[in-house]
Structure formats: C-alpha cells, structure tokens
Amino acid sequence: MALTKTYTIDKIEVVGTYKHIQVKQLLIISEDGQEISRNAHRYVLTPDMDISNQPQEVQNICNTAWTQDVKDAWIAFKQQQENKLG
C-alpha cells in the first residue's frame, strides 16, 4: 500500500481592481493510485510580491495581469491605507 501526495494548481483567478491572483491548490492523497482524500489550500498574490518561487503557470498569469500601471496603482493604494491607519 503506497501513499502518494500530489500538489496541483486547481484554479487561478484574477480578482479586483488591483489584479490580485487567487490560487487554489489541491493536495491529493492516493493509495495505490486510488484517490482517498483531496484538500484545498488557498493563497493570494498581490502585485508587489515576489513570484519567483511560484509555479510557471501562476507566474505567467501574474506577468500578464500585473502591468506597470497595475503595480503602481496597488502600491499607491497600499500607501494610502497605511497613511490612514498608521
């Protein structure tokens, strides 16, 4: 009985004004090739983040969505929030 863990990207979504990238990962555990469990894990990437460790398909979407205008707008929005709450 061999247990195997497989991580896959199930969904990549571009969300909102600042083109946040929502990533849904699936952890699939199989026993002798038969799937026995499947769990979702989520994270969100924002235009100021380092994406060099992300899977290539995620990087490709980030690079398409995050134009310089989007990055600048996100940085300005963050700064505005921090000024207000800081």
Cβ proximity to other proteins: between 2 and 34 the closer is 34
Report in angstroms how near the CB of residue 23 gets to other proteins at its nearest.
10
Residue choice 2, 33, 39, 53 for contact with other proteins (CB under 8 A): 39
Residue of 41, 43, 44 lying closest to 19 (CA atoms): 44
Contact (CB, 8 A) for 65 and 30:
no
Residue choice 20, 54, 61, 62 for contact with other proteins (CB under 8 A): 20
Burial class (CB in 10 A: 0-12, 13-18, 19+), 68: exposed
Told to check if 49 binds other proteins by CB under 8 A, we report no
Residue choice 40, 60, 67, 79 for contact with other proteins (CB under 8 A): 40
**C-alpha radius of gyration, the chain, whole number:** 17
